[in-house]
């Protein structure tokens, strides 16, 4: 692992270890931070092993806002991508298999790698996602199907 670059699972493990390092009883002050685990994964949403770029890792972070009823173009990701549903409802459909998965506010997603899929906001409110990509520097994070 390169210094300063953590996979989501590695970062979560470090945070959990730090939180567990000290237990507080009722007579002590409240801890300065509360760490709530969201997910731990070794495979993507479709069961693929999570692999990181082999060289020059670049981490990208985005906030996606998707209108109610909107469907994104069919696309795929060449590298690991993670998403956290900040608000709303999302259905991700693997267009190769037709299988769909529904996500709601508070869900963590380890997106499929190299498989054509699309997302749809299935709710009546805007969908907001925090998206994190790990790519080889200079490489695309998303490939849109023609």
Q: What is the mean pLDDT of each run of 10 residues along the chain (146 residues)?
A: 41 46 60 85 90 89 97 95 97 96 97 96 97 93 92
pLDDT (0 to 100) of residue 25: 54
Q: What pLDDT is recorded for position 30? A: 79
Structural tokens at position 98: 């037709």
- List the domains of the chain with CATH numbers: 42-144 (2.60.120.10)
Please say whether the beta carbons of 142 and 115 come within 8 A.
no
pTM here is 0.75
Question: Two tokens at 89?
Answer: 């409802």
Helix-strand-coil split of the chain, %, nearest 5: 10, 35, 55
Residue 26 confidence (pLDDT):
55
pLDDT value for 53:
86
Beta-sheet strands, E only, within 1-146? 57-66, 75-76, 81-87, 89-94, 100-104, 108-110, 117-121, 127-136, 143-144
Which pair of tokens denotes residue 143?
């490939």
């Amino acid at each position: 692992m390169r210094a300063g670059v953590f996979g989501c699972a590695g970062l979560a493990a470090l945070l959990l270890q730090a939180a567990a390092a000290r237990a507080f009883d009722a007579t002590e002050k409240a801890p300065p931070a509360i760490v709530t685990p969201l997910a731990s994964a070794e495979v993507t949403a479709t069961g693929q092993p999570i692999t990181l770029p082999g060289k020059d890792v670049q981490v990208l972070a985005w906030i996606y806002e998707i209108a109610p009823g909107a469907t994104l173009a069919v696309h795929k990701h060449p590298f690991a991508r993670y998403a956290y549903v900040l608000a709303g409802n999302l259905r991700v459909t693997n267009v190769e298999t037709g299988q769909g998965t529904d996500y709601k506010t508070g869900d963590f997603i380890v997106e499929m790698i190299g498989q054509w899929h699309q997302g749809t906001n299935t709710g009546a409110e805007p969908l907001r996602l925090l998206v994190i990509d790990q790519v080889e520097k200079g490489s695309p994070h998303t490939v849109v199907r023609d």
